[in-house]
Amino acid sequence: MASLRDIVTSASINLLSAFGFLMAFAILRIQPFNDRVYFPRWYKKGTRSSPTRSGAYASKFVNLDCRTYLNFLNWMPAALRMPEPELIDHAGLDSVAYIRIYLLGLKIFVPLAVLSFMVLVPVNWIGDTLERAKDLNFSNIDKLSISNVPDGSKGFWAHIVMSYVFSFWTFYVLYSEYKVLATMRADYLASETRRPDQFTVLVRNIPPDPDESVSEHVQHFFCVNHPDHYLTHQIVYNANKLASLVSKKRDLQNWYIYYQNKFERTSKRPLTKTGFMGLWGTKVDAIDHYTSQIQKLNEEEAVERERVKKDPDAVVPAAFVSFKSRWAAAVCAQTQLCRNPTLWLTEWAPEPRDVYWDNFAIPYFELTIRRESVKSVIQGFLPGIVLKIFLAVLPQILMTMSKIEGYPSISALDRKSAAKYHMFILVNIFLGSIITGSALQQLKTFIDLPPTEIPKTIGVYIPMKANFFITYIMVDGWAGVAAESLRLVPLVLFHLKNTFLVKTEQDRYEAMEPGSIDFPVGEPRIQLYILLGLVYAPITPFLLPFIIIFLAFAYVVFRNQCKSIFMSRYGSESDKFDYFLLLLERNVVVCLCKVINVYDPKYESAAAFWPDVHKRVVIGLFISQLLLLGLLSTKKIGRNHFALLPLPVLTIWFFMYCKGRFESGFVRFPLQEAMVKDTLERATEPQFNLKAYLKDAYMHPVFKSSDVEKSDFTFEEEKSPLVATTRVATKLSPDVNSSSPVQSDA
């Protein structure tokens, strides 16, 4: 391990860097010309006006009030004083649950650090192994680790006992947080205002019917099997090609507006080349060129829209089915609809902005095949390339893999991508850093070892790598979190757009980009620090204060981001944005490892990801126990190290208990709660037209302005439970439709 002087020097550099970022943030945020970058939420709500509109000319751009500079760090206590219920109202439960991951780490590691320094550090310090070793360079910090305890010493019992204490304390904190989040989720769902997904179920793998269209078949099936509760439905189209045309047209409109603005500023007709991005080809008038291209795409879009409307093959065997009450939706989403368990598959519909429409075009039977295929790619192909690519690009690759697997919502894609990234961090960063070279390159070594020898082999290397991880925490954690508060990329892009693209107040409004939580990257990153803390708490406690500083610092910074920068929702890219700047933004974000994580919900899942957070902390605890067991097995203490064997078993039992106790609350909605909300709503709003409210909620975005979606026939299900059908057959196969007997007009 490095000397104390080396650690102090590194800590000083990183603390100064972090302080520099915070100083820059605190000063930049109070400048009038940056107001929209650091306070976009209040502009979105209409409660804040631009400070650059009034006052002296200089004061429109630079804050001339000296008193504000004396209190420029007042955002920290202000962020901490905000009550959690108010924070939920501001940011949603997803954002608050994400922040609580940092709080979870603090609750675990602050007591662990106190106990480690009170019990384990003295035991390690009084050992004399390093002093008796010949030709070995070491520092006083090395004497704080388990490496200084002599082989065969009874002092290892302190590490064994404290490992139990650490594990049970972690159990307690994890259980308490799981219980708190489960309660918060239940309260949030109970108090939440009306949303379309509360009444809607996603139905997939709808069986084909020779006599009815998909829309007719869905309506017929639910009118028969849910005659008192079915309200309406929305069939799903394969509109990927149409969406591609719309996106392409938006890009061309960005270029058109850019050149139109340029012409208005210079009064000179701009020119461009017809090749890729205007880099080569024949020179033409830019405005005329993009006008003709947009007109051509308009015609293609109209043709494709009509094809989707009339082509039966464009209809996907899936539908969003809405009911008259939350209770009925809960019953449908959580029960089997027909005899064949592979047909009429139901699940809760994601909220409309959470739907990932591209994946609905994937046939349902392909989904399992795809997810097995993706695992093969990860295991066979990914290890060979991940070491040759920039780490920041990896999350995009993992997100693409998750999209290939066919998940129907953005929140599910984020959770699956986070799971893949967590596995990569665990294997290639944690294990790969402990062992010389990449752990993936050492795979053959592990295969040749007996399973019982793997923890021992890794455990031997762990104390030797404490210095590396301390440095990693300071560089990536301390300075990295401070850099996130600065919002450098949105700051630069806003001023570029404001200078070259903005013409109206609406343009300026759309140029504000708060960003969003990068959950697939951010959550596994926190899990790495939690894993390091759990592994090194009984081995090298000196590492714990560095993790605590990171967690506390990040908790304050992200809480402030959530309070002062959060906006209610993030719209689509503005048509006024320059396409080149959009490309620049993506590239800059990649190059800066996506350091800007500002809370802007693309969706609200009511903390549905918390079971994954809990599971990954338990995995970290399990790994720490196995590695300590492997390490102690090399310390010549006889069979005493077997005293740790019950811990992994207890950890597995604890995980299964929490899974059974809490997880169902994150995937199901209690019928009792649904009935309470329905009864209250009927009493307070008896005239509310729910059918009109749900009519277009799950319409594909490219159809929002068209009348493609509605079927020609309607059925007043309130009048009769007997449903007319266009079927010719009088006997239905149970594998096609296992509904109750129906009246046939054949």
Asked if pLDDT for residue 679 goes beyond 50, the answer is: yes
Task: Look at residue 511 and tell me if it is in a domain.
Answer: yes
- The predicted-structure confidence for 529-545, as pLDDT tens digits, reads as follows 999 999 999 988 989 99
Asked if pLDDT for residue 709 goes beyond 60, the answer is no
Q: Quick one: pLDDT band at residue 230, thresholds 50, 70, 90? A: very high
Q: Is residue 418 part of a domain?
A: yes
pLDDT at 451: 65
Report the half-sphere exposure of 714 (CA within 13 A, side-chain side): 8
Residue 720 lies in a domain: no
Strands ordered across the beta sheet of 230-237 = 230-237, 315-323, 200-204, 345-348
Residues 603 and 647 in one domain: yes
Query: What is the per-residue pLDDT for 517?
Result: 72
**In one letter, which amino acid is 555?**
Y
Residue 678 included in any domain: no
Q: Do 275 and 166 lie in a common domain?
A: no
Residue 57 burial by Cβ neighbours in a 10 Å radius (0-12, 13-18, 19+): exposed
* pLDDT, tens digit, 9 for 90 and up, residues 405-440: 878 888 888 898 889 888 888 887 787 777 654 344
Specify whether 501 is located in the same domain as 647.
yes
DSSP 2: -
User: Which has the higher per-residue pLDDT, 323 or 246?
Assistant: 323
pLDDT over 70 at 459, yes or no: no
Looking at the fold, whether 411 and 315 belong to one and the same domain comes out as no
Lowest mean pLDDT among 39-48, 79-88, 525-534: 39-48
Residues 122 and 208 in one domain: no
Mean pLDDT of the chain: 75
Question: Which tens digits make up the pLDDT trace of 51-65?
Answer: 655 555 556 667 666
Whether 430 and 542 map to the same domain: the answer is: yes
Which pLDDT score is estimated for 284? 87
* Same domain membership, residue 145 and residue 78: yes
Contact 543, 536 (CB under 8 A): yes
Residues near 283 by beta carbon (within 8 Å), at least 6 away in sequence: 271, 272, 273
Burial 152-169 (b: 16+ CB within 10 A, else e): ebebbebbbebbebbbeb
Q: Is 147 within the bounds of a domain?
A: yes
What is the C-alpha radius of gyration for the chain, rounded to an integer number of angstroms? Answer: 30
Most confident of 496-510, 567-581, 583-597, 657-671: 657-671
Per the structure, the count of domains in the chain is: 3
Give residue 568's pLDDT band: very low, low, confident or very high (50, 70, 90).
very low
Select the more confidently predicted residue: 282 or 63: 282
Domain's final residue, options 621, 640, 669? 669
Model pLDDT for residues 517-531, shown as the tens digit of each residue: 778 888 998 999 999
Q: Residue 200 has what pLDDT? A: 93
Listed range (280-294, 447-461, 476-490, 641-655) with the worst mean pLDDT: 447-461
Give yes or no: residues 163 and 222 share one domain. Answer: no
Q: What is the mean pLDDT of residues 361-369?
A: 67
- Quick one: pLDDT band at residue 341, thresholds 50, 70, 90? confident
Per-residue model confidence (pLDDT) at position 79: 56
Same domain, 505 and 651: yes
Residue 593 domain flag: yes
The CA distances from residue 182 to 523, 662, 711, in Å, are 19, 7, 41
Of 350, 379, 396, the domain-final residue: 350
| Least reliable range by pLDDT among 174-188, 277-291, 729-743 | 729-743
d(Cα 572, Cα 445) in Å, to the nearest integer?
A: 49
Q: Is residue 15 part of a domain?
A: yes
What the block records as the tokens of 194 is 């009306």
| Confidence tier at 731 by pLDDT (50, 70, 90) | very low
The pLDDT of residue 212 is 86
pLDDT digits 0-9 by tens, 103-141: 899 999 999 999 999 999 888 888 777 666 665 556 666
- The whole-number average pLDDT for the span 455-474 is 75
Q: Are residues 188 and 335 in the same domain?
A: no
Closest to 218 in 3D by CA, of 229, 199, 234:
234
**Do 131 and 29 share a domain, yes or no?**
yes
Residue 97, domain member (yes or no)? yes
Least confident segment among 71-85, 134-148, 403-417, 560-574: 560-574
pLDDT at 25 exceeding the cut of 70? yes
d(CA 24, CA 31): 11
**pLDDT band at 143; cut points 50, 70, 90:** confident
pLDDT of amino acid 716:
38
Q: Are residues 78 and 207 in the same domain?
A: no
Helices and strands per DSSP (H, E), number in the chain: 32, 6
Domain final residue pick, 638, 669, 700: 669
Q: What is the residue range of 227's domain?
A: 196-350
